[in-house]
Structure 1
Amino acid sequence: MRGAALLFALALALGPAASTAQTDPTQSARAAMDELQGASAALEAAEGARDRVAALTQTVQAYEKGLAALREGLRQATIRESAIHGVFSAESERLAQLLGVLQSIEAAPESHLLLHPSGPLGTVRSGMILSDVTPALSQEAAQLRRALQEVAMLRALQETAVSTLEEGLQGVQTARTELSKAVANRTDLPRRFVADQAAMENLINSSDTLESFASGLMSTTVEETSVSIAQPDFSEAQGALEMPVLGRVIRRFEEADAAGVRRPGWVVATRPLTLVTTPWPATIRYLGPLLDYGEVAILEPGEGYLLVLSGLGQVFGEVGEVLPRGAPVGLMGGALMSEDQAFLMSSAQGGGAQATESLYIELRRNGTPLDPSTWFVGPEN
């Protein structure tokens, strides 16, 4: 019974590996390391790219996705190792007995194993018992060997992955810095209008809610430029928009928070300094601090529509510019050094830096909030 329990426990610990071709989480972690190597190559290639902003945007996103995948791989590796160690701890006495029997059988001469002190009849009986026990014993030994091999593999993976994490963090830091410089030097974006600074300041000072500011923004007159820009119909994007940031939706449309406050938008938890992009070609209607929302970007993806992105730490561009789809809008807040240190310390234990930043997403049409779930696809929940 004890042997069966040990076999069952080891089977449970090893089961996930067997069910996924013995590659989860090692395969996902190694695939993530390959992604990070690809991001490093893309960073070098971006140096000579014709559109450095687009190339660096893709590079930053590749780094972020690779780092997120590697975090998850390390987390799963730690869970797997803990499960196996838990079996070892719970069955330590049984494992010691098993190892003792295996060592005795291996050390004893084969001829001695076939003899029994009571004579030929005892020898026959012991042989029959041994023939019944040997398969189960061999199965236990095989399970134990596989568990030990997997622990060694997981530890080797974690040691390699932590160094890859450090390189990846350095790479994404460089890519973000280069992207900020490239955006600042960008001069090729068309401009639909020039903002009236005095009117904008009056609107900011007279608005006490995001709703009132957005409504006033739609009615504010602007000085149109002579540039004619054809934009795709935004209504066709319903149900097909990509998320503007890599993160997890933690509060949905009109869902109450801990204080009972309901907001007509999504709150997305994300990690410090994560890149925020526009999911559709859009005109920048406002950039900057607003009320208690932090840095805010308000985009106009179509006539009568406004996309509000608030809670950023840094914003890119100028009011009136028309951004292409997937263009960088800004970066989330957070301290770079604390992010690096927390990430590496927790990653060595199979975790990852926490999603400490929050991006608020609100979509409006003619002043009325729309449920983002009917517009965006594939958010992590």
Structure 2
Amino acid sequence: MIRRAAFVFSLGLWAGTAVAETDPAEAARAAAQMLEDASIALSEAESARDRVRALTDTVQAFEAGLAAMRDGLRRASVREGQIAAQLKARESEVSQLLGVLQTIETSPPPVLLLHPSGPLGAARSAMMVAEVTPALKAQVDRLSHDLEEVRTLRELQQSAAETLQEGLAGIQQARADLSQAIADRTDLPRRFTEDPVRTAILVSSTETLDGFASGLAEIAEGEIAETSADISALKGELPLPVQGVLLRKAGQADAAGVTRSGILIATRPRALVSAPTASTIRYRGPLLDLGNVVILEPQPDLLIVLSGLQEVYGNAGEVIPAGSPVGLMGGANQEIGAILSTSGDGSGTERSETLYIEVREGDSPVDPETWFQTDKDG
């Protein structure tokens, strides 16, 4: 049921995006429905057999719904501004139209039907009115449609606050439930058990990511089980572990002139980070100046390093399936005002957090874009 719901959410997001291009109001309504469906999925997740998977789908559904709502409301606000500008530009035309309509409505029928030139003049006048009436009606219809659209857009924006409040409360609850479900999970296979003392020694004695990666085998108690996992067929096809946009490519200098071997993804605050493919968690925790780090091993001699998370999930040695949550990005929980605001106008300024992704083959880093799809916005 939950997987089906997640599929519906994906379709809903796609459809909402398509609709948003032509109808901002309908896009916002579709987003509101997505948030309502996510709330239903959250209640269903309580009884799901795989609660982690169900709650992961639910968190992602809330994220998609909130993103779609933000986009829909932004488009609605922009559309309202466009109509207002058009009406202002046509102010004199509209005033004349209203004046004509008012004259027609207030003139008694006999005055409209009689003509000073007699029956022939009345006939000619009637022919002229017959020609003008369709154009006049078309103007009235256009004006009525514009005014009705403005009214609809304003009502939509006024009613959005309650929907957003429920959606924000829902995603916070879903994140909390997900964190607890992961802590309670005991059915994952393990390739090794981490030795916390050895891990602490390695972390404290490491000065570079290269050095830490080469010493990962030292943090296990005993041997690390062999694996025949092979994801070479997925090269270039892995999804990004978080919804976001590519901010900096590998080797591209930042504002301080520093270059790194990985890519930087801009995300929204508290975005969920998931494993792009089935992997072994080789390490999770703080490391160097990278903040909280999760290091995944999808196959022998291949490591995916994810850094910059605020919270990390799972335990070193666990083998997790594709799509499993591995952490949350930092930042403050979104406020209604920030979502309703049109500042930034879709430029990405609302994506205040950054996830650093590095891929290592053997002992050397490689361009992550050889493994990940980075050509789509999240």
Short-chain TM bin: 0.7 to 0.9
1:222 paired residue number: 220
1:67-106 matches, within 5 Å, as: 67-106=66-105
Distance 2:364 2:310 in 1: 27
Shift of 1:125: 5.3
1:357 to 339, 353, 356: 353
In structure 1, distance between residues paired with 2:51 and 2:314? 15
Instruction: Flag the 1:22–1:191 CA change in 2: closer, same or farther, 3 A.
Output: closer
User: Structure 1: which 5+ runs fail to align?
Assistant: 1-18
Q: Which residue of 1 aligns with 2:181?
A: 182
Aligned position for 1:329 = 326
**1:319-361 Cα distance to aligned partner (Å, 9 max, x none):** 111111111101111223xx23543553899989922111111
State the match for 1:375 in structure 2.
371
Task: Say which structure, 1 or 2, has more relative contact order (CA 8 Å, 6+ apart).
Answer: 1
Name the CA distance, whole Å, in 1 between partners of 2:341 and 2:351: 13
Tell me what 2:338 maps to.
343
Q: Does the CA contact (< 8 Å) of 1:296 and 1:309 recur in 2?
A: yes
Residue 320 of structure 1 is matched in structure 2 by 317
- Are 1:61 and 2:56 matched, yes or no? no
**Are 2:263 and 1:295 aligned?**
no
For the residues of structure 1 that align with 2:340 and 2:31, how far apart are their CA atoms? 19
Using the TM superposition, give the Cα deviation of residue 46 of structure 1 relative to its aligned residue in structure 2, in angstroms: 1.1
Equivalent position of 1:248 in the other structure: 245
Task: Identify if the C-alpha distance between structure 1 residues 287 and 123 changes in structure 2 by more than 3 Å, giving closer, same or farther.
Answer: same
> Which residue of 2 is the match for residue 235 of structure 1?
232
Match of residue 207 from structure 1: 206
Confirm or deny: 8 A CA contact 2:310 2:329 kept in the other structure. Answer: yes
Q: CA RMSD in A?
A: 2.9
* Contact in 2 for aligned 1:243/1:379 (Cα 8 Å): no
Identity of aligned residues (%): 51
Query: How far is the alpha carbon of 1:20 from its aligned partner?
Result: 6.2
Residue 299 to residue 22, structure 1, CA distance change in 2 (3 Å): closer
How far the C-alpha of 1:302 sits from its partner, in A, is 1.0
Distance in 2 of aligned mates of 1:62 and 1:229: 36
CA–CA separation in structure 2 for the residues paired with 1:330 and 1:43: 19
User: Relative to 1, partners in 2 of residues 1:358 and 1:147: Cα closer, same or farther, differing over 3 Å?
Assistant: same
In the TM superposition, what are the counterparts of 1:55-204 in structure 2 within 5 Å? Answer: 55-117=54-116, 123=122, 126-204=125-203
Change (3 A) 1:73 1:191: same
Superposition deviation, residue 373 in structure 1: 2.9
| 1:125–1:260 CA distance, 2 compared to 1 (3 A) | farther
Distance 1:280 1:22 in 2: 33
| TM-score normalised per structure 1 | 0.84
Greater CA drift, 124-133 or 46-55: 124-133
Q: Partner of 1:203: helix, strand, or coil?
A: helix
Counterpart-to-counterpart distance in 2, 1:115 and 1:42 = 70
CA distance in 2, matches of 1:20, 1:178: 33
